[in-house]
Amino acid sequence: MKVFVIGANGHVGRLVVQQLAASDHEVVAGIRHPDQALFFEDLGVPTAMFDLLSRPEQLGVTLDCFDAVIFAAGSGGKTGADMTLLVDLDGAVKSMQAAEIAGIKRYVLVSALFADNRNQWSEDIQPYYAAKFYADDWLRHRTTLAYTILEPGALTFDKGIGAINTAGIARGNIAREDVARAAVASLTTPETIGKTVPMITGTIPINVALSRF
């Protein structure tokens, strides 16, 4: 597949790009600032400007000729609720609209564990969960995309172990490296299409866990 990674310069996004670059897929890294290109140039990965504050029609031009999108963008913990709204919610929705404009079908969204259950939201980051809730809901019910929504637990910088749990989850952590692995693996795991996949570090190999959906 020819894959466009939105939010490629983020912690998860960089790992997704690295893993795609080491696979049989063709990858382009979507970045917001030109100075972010150096990291990807060192990997031999092309970049394209992709500002989630732009209009869907503009973003759709950039996505033309791709087979799939992985959305790994986020406003980050240093911004306020306004940017969370504009990036994690509206930016995500605009990327979905852009994918449809470009004729892309496969779309993988990195969300958050329990984003679809308000009773489980952390009070400290409610705007973040609200943004994820409505972006996920738009993807499920307002698009025709062949989507997969990944819901990782608390993200860590630990080395990934390549194994997850996806059932009976209360709380838990997961390495960003394993979230990236799951995003890449989802692209070619048809069982995940139209599914929401909660995940924390576990004991089941990622490919096996995803194939059980």
Whether 128 is catalytic is: yes
Considering the domain boundaries, does residue 71 fall inside one?
yes
Considering the domain boundaries, does residue 159 fall inside one?
no
What global pTM score does this model have?
A: 0.96
Considering the domain boundaries, does residue 213 fall inside one?
no
Considering the domain boundaries, does residue 163 fall inside one?
no
**Per-residue confidence (pLDDT) for residue 3, from 0 to 100:** 98
Which of 80-89, 95-104, 156-165 has the weakest average pLDDT?
80-89
Instruction: Using the predicted structure, report yes or no on whether residue 79 has a pLDDT greater than 90.
Output: no
- The number of domains in the chain is 1
Give the residue from 150, 109, 112, 151 showing the smallest Cα distance to 129: 112
Grade residue 75 by pLDDT with cuts at 50, 70 and 90: confident
Grade residue 32 by pLDDT with cuts at 50, 70 and 90: very high
The catalytic position among 128, 129, 134, 147 is: 128
Instruction: Using the predicted structure, report yes or no on whether residue 193 has a pLDDT greater than 90.
Output: yes
Look up the CATH number of the domain holding residue 63: 3.40.50.720
Considering the domain boundaries, does residue 73 fall inside one?
yes
Q: Supply the range of the domain harboring residue 65.
A: 2-152+177-198
